[in-house]
Amino acid sequence: MNKIKVIFMRHGESEWNQSNQFTGWQDVLLSKKGIQEAQIAGKLLKKNGFFFDYAYTSMLSRAIYTLWYILKILKETWIPIKKSWQLNERHYGALEGLNKKKIRSIYSKEQIQLWRRSFLHTPPALDIKDTRYPGYDRRYITLNKNELPVSESLENTYNRVIPYWKNVILPTIKDKKKIIVVAHGNSLRALIKYLNNINNDNIINLNISTGAPIVYEFSDTLCPLNYYYLK
Ligand SMILES: O=C(O)[C@@H](CO)OP(=O)(O)O
């Protein structure tokens, strides 16, 4: 059986990963370590003979820059790159910008863990008058009000990522194109939940590392088989 390999990758470490702040849709840059992770990932992909016809990423700089570093190393900066808000990190609502450890003085560790890793719990919402509301960001100008989040559970994230996977990414794979998807911890958790049929209780245990390429293998009829981190 001829396996189809698709690369999924979470962006390299961001400045806010480093300072331990909730990030979500806030557009922060890669840290120095994050840039190195992206470059190492590019070299690893090159060494393992990967090449791409098409790339997918989010509207957020940390994912876009990660992809650029990889494509630069592969000498494939010329391939089409499709950037979409559906691949963005989950919106972290009013938590965006706050320190993940410091909020333990306000909320219990268990509550924070449910917001961060459960499927159904939604972090406290942003007020739409808040300057962090994505409606004020020009890059989301084409989104209607229902699509602009004020906070998202993993379920809400899943509900935008999976239709995008089915309607946009999958047809490209069916068309025999080699693809790479550079996205975020929670948009990728949603995607892997779907592909691996992980139930709502078990998804709490799935974490995705920064800057590490994941090889996802599909059968020639596009049935999800398994995945592993490229070593
Ligand atoms: O802050 C975020 O946007 C994400 C990813 O860094 O955090 P978490 O690991 O809590 O989902």
Can you tell me the distance from the alpha carbon of 31 to that of 17, in angstroms, rounded to the nearest whole number?
A: 8
Atom of ligand 1 nearest to the CA of 90: 3
ipTM: 0.97
Q: How many domains does the chain have?
A: 1
Tell whether residue 132 is among the known ligand binding residues: no
Catalytic residue list contains 121: no
The DSSP symbol for 11 reads P
Q: pLDDT tier at 1 (50, 70, 90 boundaries)?
A: confident
pLDDT of residue 127 exceeding 80: yes
> What is the model's pLDDT at position 184?
98
161-209 pLDDT, tens per residue? 999 999 999 999 999 999 999 999 999 999 999 999 999 999 999 999 9
pTM over 0.90: yes
What are the structure tokens assigned to 128, written together? 């739409």
> Residue 74 is which amino acid?
L
Can you tell me the distance from the alpha carbon of 24 to that of 14, in angstroms, rounded to the nearest whole number?
A: 11
Atom of ligand 1 nearest to the CA of 14: 6
Domain that holds residue 190: 4-229
Neighbours of 55 (CB within 10 A): 23
The enclosing domain of 154 has a CATH number of 3.40.50.1240
What is the SS3 assignment for 135? helix
Backbone angles phi, psi at 23, to 5 degrees: -115, -55
Would you say the CB of residue 89 lies under 6 angstroms from ligand 1?
Answer: yes
Region 97-105: mean pLDDT is 97
Would you say the CB of residue 24 lies under 6 angstroms from ligand 1?
Answer: yes
Can you tell me the distance from the alpha carbon of 7 to that of 42, in angstroms, rounded to the nearest whole number?
A: 12
